[in-house]
Structure 1
């Protein structure tokens, strides 16, 4: 196996482990929350609200999957719906007050965790990793 192929194997393994840890941490935030529902809630906050079709496109999910996840967030009291002012037939989905509180708590937990993990890293290394992650994500 070439050095590049070996590096790609390591990247795949590490990103898979990262995703598994993220799923576990999402379930610790709220017993009814999966990584998908947490990610949906987080994107709604980041965008100041969005439509279900926007969520489906962003996460590359079927509309039926998004509908189930949105329904789950609504049942948990973490989501509110508003009439879309640009298209009165549609709805804008936003985190509820309870959803916002959960996101604030999650943000603090993540920030503490990352700060702790990067204690031994220099500022340049942290900046380089951030740039690489942005570059990797931009490929989609």
Structure 2
């Protein structure tokens, strides 16, 4: 654009990109504080496994648009920490389903408590209307990205968490 002035939409897009990057970095740092050996990607996968009451590694890769090798590496770390275990699928014993262990469930509960407290502190001055609007925007943003192709390394800093 001539004159050095960007259109308002482009300025807004720049702010959104910058702020989502900052959000992703803070989320990674927060995950590291909850458990130093549990990076954000691993935390996210563990939470998904718990929410789904078990799932396959291929389900995780598809849901988060991650390479299977990335998922495999993260799951190996979760298994080593004792947070995830593999069980044969009831309908096909050749397939393994991932489940959180008691230790995995405990670390997730602790993390959720800490995260909720941090969000409550950060958002304490927001009105209920602002919170509802923000939640709706986040849902809309994430729904639009569910079928997107990742634009950076699957577990790198350029990709905000889902």
Aligned equivalent of 2:18: 13
For 2:67 and 2:26, the matched residues in 1 are separated by 24
Aligned equivalent of 2:56: 51
> Is 1:129 matched up with 2:128?
no
Cα shift readout 1:60-98 (whole Å, capped 9, x = no counterpart): 111121111101000001111111112211111011100
Structure with the higher strand share, 1 or 2: 1
Aligned equivalent of 1:88: 93
Range with bigger deviation, 57-66 or 102-111 = 57-66
Gaps of 5+ in 2: 1-5, 147-162
1:46 Cα deviation from its structure 2 partner = 1.1
- Which contiguous aligned blocks of 4+ residues in structure 1 show a shift greater than 6 angstroms? none
Superposed counterparts of 1:21-60, under 5 Å? 21-60=26-65
Count of aligned pairs = 140
Instruction: For CA contacts below 8 A with separation 6 or more, give which structure has more relative contact order.
Output: 2
Normalised to the residue count of structure 1, the TM-score between the two structures is 0.97
Normalised to the residue count of structure 2, the TM-score between the two structures is 0.84
> Is 1:113 matched up with 2:126?
no
1:15 Cα deviation from its structure 2 partner = 0.5
For 1:24 and 1:8, the matched residues in 2 are separated by 24
Q: Residue 37 of structure 2 aligns to a residue in which SS?
A: coil
Q: Residue 33 of structure 1 aligns to a residue in which SS?
A: coil
Q: Residue 74 of structure 2 aligns to a residue in which SS?
A: helix
> Is 1:64 matched up with 2:69?
yes
Cα shift readout 1:93-126 (whole Å, capped 9, x = no counterpart): 0111000000000000111111111111000000
Superposed counterparts of 1:94-109, under 5 Å? 94-109=99-114
Structure with the higher helix share, 1 or 2: 1
